[in-house]
Structure 1
Amino acid sequence: MSNIQDKIQEEVEQARAACDTSGSNSPECAAAWDAVEELQAEASHRKQSKPKTSLEQYCDANPEADECRVYED
C-alpha cells in the first residue's frame, strides 16, 4: 500500500509544478490533478476490499469439494 502512497505524493508534486508553470486554470494543471484524484480513488478502493476468508481460499483451490457446492433454488 505504501507504493501507491509514494506514487500519490509524486503526482501531487508534479501537479503543483504543472500549476506553477502553466497557471492554475490551465488544462495541464487540471489533468495533473485528475491523475492525483484517480490514484487516490484507487488507494481508497484497495482499502475497502476485504481479504478472502479461509473457506473462500479453500474453495478457490478445491472447487469440487463438497463444502464449496453452490445450490440453486
Structure 2
Amino acid sequence: MTTLDLVQAAVNSGTKTIEEAIVEAIAEARETCDINGSNSAGCAVAWDIVEELQAEKSHKKQATQHKTSLDNYCAMHPEAVECLIYDV
C-alpha cells in the first residue's frame, strides 16, 4: 500500500480532513526534498501525493456544488415550462 493510499484511507475513514492531509503531505514533501534533494525520486513522489490530494479536494468540491432554486424546482416539476430543454 502506497503512502497516498494510506492518506486517502485516513481521509475516507474520517480520521482527518482532506485539508489536514494536504498540510501534512506538504510538510512531508518539503522534508523529503530537504533530505533527499529536490531532484530525487522521493521528492517527486512526495509532491505527486500533494498534487493528488489537491485534485481529490477539487473533485469533491465540484461534486457537492449547491443547486440553485431553479434546479430544485425543476427536480420537483420537470414538466414545468421553465424546465423544458429543447434541442434545435
Report the TM range for the smaller structure's normalisation. Answer: 0.5 to 0.7
- Segments of 4+ moved more than 3 angstroms: none
Q: Equivalent of 1:28, from 16, 37, 42?
A: 42
The aligned length equals 69
Identity of aligned residues (%): 52
TM-score under structure 1 normalisation?
A: 0.63
* Cα displacement string for residues 27-51 of structure 1 (whole angstroms, at most 9, x for unaligned residues): 0000000000000001111345325
- Structure 2: which amino acid aligns with 1:44? S
- Structure 2: which amino acid aligns with 1:33? W
Match of 1:12 in 2: 26
* Higher RCO (C-alpha 8 Å, min separation 6): 1
TM-score under structure 2 normalisation?
A: 0.54
* Cα displacement string for residues 42-64 of structure 1 (whole angstroms, at most 9, x for unaligned residues): 111134532578xxxxxxxxxxx
